[in-house]
Structure formats: structure tokens, C-alpha cells
Amino acid sequence: MYNRNNARSSRASSFGKRGNRSNSRFGKRNFSSSAINVNRFICKAETIKAEDVFKPQCAFCDLAIHDVLKRSIANRGFAVPTPIQDQAIPAILAGQDLIGLANTGTGKTAAYLIPMLNKILINPQEKVLVVVPTRELAMQIQEEFVALARRLNIFSVAVVGGADIRRQIKELRLRHNLVVGTPGRLKDLISRKILDLSKFGNIVLDEADRMLDMGFINDVKLLLSLMPRKKQAMLFSATFGKEIENLTKTFLYNPTRIFIKSRETASQIEQNIIRVAVSQDKIEVLHDLLIKTEFEKVLIFTRTKHGADNLSKKLLQRGFKTEAIHGNKTQGKRQRALKMFKENVVEILVATDVAARGLDIPNVSHVINFDLPATYEDYIHRIGRTGRADKKGNALTFVE
């Protein structure tokens, strides 16, 4: 039987000293998890060979951008461009519209922020709108922009639901060149006549497929209709279905197309299933995994908000350092939980699919699907939180 004190002792050893241990067409929203062949959750990781390592066409220092921006990139620790950056940055610098199809964790945020920052340095009147599906992704882009724009005297504002709109209105009345936000909050600010999109000559739709999945297509079309006809437009997506293609035809002009995504899941992610018998307790099975030393930083997905809270509470009772995030939590609480997870204050984060897309959480050793995903596309984005930046990752899916 389970002994809470022994579990705490085992956990302290595992997460503290790291010593002893106790023993097809995916993306349709009506695609039930019971219909997903569980064999799709099993895939051996591939070793990255020396000859497969990407060799960029040029280094950041060779780009036709301001020297101050080059220094900012170097200060961020960026050595050489990723494949999406290598192709997208020169195209955007040349003023071209762009469609970028790439898996998450490929560096696409910097792929558009770097040329947009350079464009603003050339003309301080330039304004950029970045539209994203979730609050977490908006805040992540805001953090990356602030880091890249440090000492450049260029400012941005993040506008998302669940946060104090009065503070966002105050920030929008100050000088800024970039606004990143979710469709609902952007519409709200436009209706209040706080945000005037006629002054924005650049737009980025990031995680465009997710926005369409979440029913934001009409909101996106409205935002586009309020912008100048002559603008530079960029769309980034992990998938490129018919609806995305139709959208691009309405607002992109002769776009450069960059297709980096070569397979559904990253090759460096080891994928496997954990079969749970009817007589077994899923929590006990999960506990026996988490006390192993290799489970260093773990993201666990549940189907429901209640399930996330319940699982997090049970893990806390067993002595694990854990937090939970889902749509019912305030923006502040979600951001604090993510910050604690990123900074290793807690080593387990329990989440619903709100955290599955777009978030860049470094060094996640394992993703565990405690509940099956609703669609295979959700599975792809869940496990994309591990195995980032060419590091090996692990994905485990509980199958009952």
C-alpha cells in the first residue's frame, strides 16, 4: 500500500540529490480519442547524426540588419539561425509576405520579430500587430520581444483576456510599436476606440491553425479588414489545411512559402504507451514513474480543468512539487505557475490543452498524457513541449 511519508522521502531523493530511487487527416474536432490508433503513440526517437545537423546559409552577423540589433541577438545567445529563421528573415527583410509552416519549437517567433524590429529601427512610425490564439503564447511573444528590444528604445504591449484591461488601455496610450494579443481582447479594445488598426502596416498570425480550430476565423477576418490594404503580412502554422489556404488568399500578396515541417512529430521524441489494467490505480502507476530519477521536468496533460486540479492536489499530497494551469485560472495564476515550472521551482506541471500549443518551456524531460487527447492533432501539440531545440524528449500516453 501507498505510504505518504515514504513517498515524500523517495521524492526528495529523486528530485533533490537525484540519487536513490524507489523501485490521417488529423485535426478534425469531432475525431474522438477512442478512434485514434494507439500505435500512433509509439515511436522510437532517432539519433541526430552529424551530417543531419542544419547548416544555415548565413549567420546572424551577416544579415542586412542594424548593428544594434545584431548585438541584441548576440546578447540573447543566438548563435546561428534555425531553418525557419534562415529562410524567413531574409524574405521578411525584403518586404515579402510570408507563409511559414513549421513545427513548434523551431524558433519562428524570432523569425518574424528580428526583421520587424529592424523595420522599426529604420522607420520608428512602423506598427506591428501579432495575433495569437492563447494568452500564454501572447505573453511568451511579449517576453521574447522585450528581450530582443532591450536598449533599442522600442516598446510593445500585450493585450489578452483575463488580465486588467485598464492597465492595457493605459499602456496602449503610451508609445509602442508592437501589439500582441488574442482576438477577443483586440476586438474589445477596438470597440472602445482604444486601438486603431488603420495605423498598423504589418500583421503576423501566429499559430493560425489553432485560431481557426478555436473558432476565431471571423474575428481574424474582422481584424484584417480594419488594416490598410497595403501591408506586410506573415502567417505561421503547424498545419496547412484548406481553411488556412483560403484565408491566406484573402490577405497575402504573392507570399514566400517556407515549409520546414517534415513530419508530424519531432524525430528526437521517444514515444510510448503505458497500459493501465482495470484493476490498477492510474495515480499509483503515475507515482511509480515520477519517482524515477530521469523524470526531471514533467508536463502532464488531463482532459478537463477539474481533472487537472484534482491530479495536482493528489500529487501534492504525495510530496511532489506541482502546479496546475487551465482556462479557469486567472491570467496571473497561470503566469506564476508557468514561471515556477520554467525556473524549476516546481518540477511537475499539470495542464489541460490550453498549454499544449506554442509555449516554449525549456528542458521538459517528459510529457505524460494522463488522459487521452481528443484528437491526434492535440497529441502532436502536447508532446511538442518536449524534445525542443534538437534535445531528446520523451512522451508517454496512458491507455486503459
For the chain, first and last CA: distance in Å?
Answer: 21
pLDDT of residue 362: 84
β-pair partners for 178: 128, 156
CATH architecture designation of domain 4-48+267-399:
3-Layer(aba) Sandwich (3.40)
Predicted confidence (pLDDT) per residue in 265-322, tens digit: 567 889 999 999 988 999 999 999 999 999 999 999 999 999 999 999 999 999 999 9
At a CB cut-off of 8 Å and minimum separation 6, what does 190 contact?
196, 197, 223, 226
- By percentage, how much of the chain surpasses pLDDT 70? 85
Please report which helix (H) or strand (E) contains residue 393, including its range: strand 393-399
What mean pLDDT is reported for the chain?
85
At a CB cut-off of 8 Å and minimum separation 6, what does 330 contact?
162
What ranges do the domains of the chain cover? 4-48+267-399, 54-259
Let me know if the fold of 4-48+267-399 is the same as that of 54-259. Answer: yes
Predicted confidence (pLDDT) per residue in 117-128, tens digit: 999 999 999 999
pLDDT of residue 385: 85
pLDDT of residue 184: 95
Question: What is the pTM (predicted TM-score) of this model?
Answer: 0.68
Is residue 157 classed exposed, middle or buried when 0-12, 13-18 and 19+ CB atoms within 10 A define those classes? Answer: buried
Residue the block writes with cell 528542458: 363
pLDDT of residue 335: 84
Q: Of the ranges 100-104, 254-258, 268-272, 329-333, which is most confident?
A: 254-258
pLDDT of residue 108: 92
pLDDT of residue 45: 64
pLDDT of residue 355: 62
pLDDT of residue 26: 32
Residue 217: pLDDT over 50: yes
Comparing 151 with 26, the larger pLDDT belongs to 151
Average pLDDT over residues 27-41: 56
CA distances from 285 to 19, 211, 276, 390 (A): 21, 35, 8, 29
Distance between CA atoms of residues 175 and 177, nearest Å: 7
DSSP-assigned letter for residue 44 = P
Distance between CA atoms of residues 379 and 257, nearest Å: 26
Least confident of 73-82, 127-136, 176-185, 290-299: 73-82
Cβ pair 68, 47 in contact under 8 A? no
Instruction: Write the CATH number of the domain with boundaries 54-259.
Output: 3.40.50.300
Average pLDDT over residues 371-380: 86
β-pair partners for 369: 301, 397
pLDDT of residue 1: 39
Residue 190: pLDDT over 60: yes
At a CB cut-off of 8 Å and minimum separation 6, what does 72 contact?
117, 148, 149, 150, 151, 152
CA nearest 314: which of 275, 365, 272, 350?
350
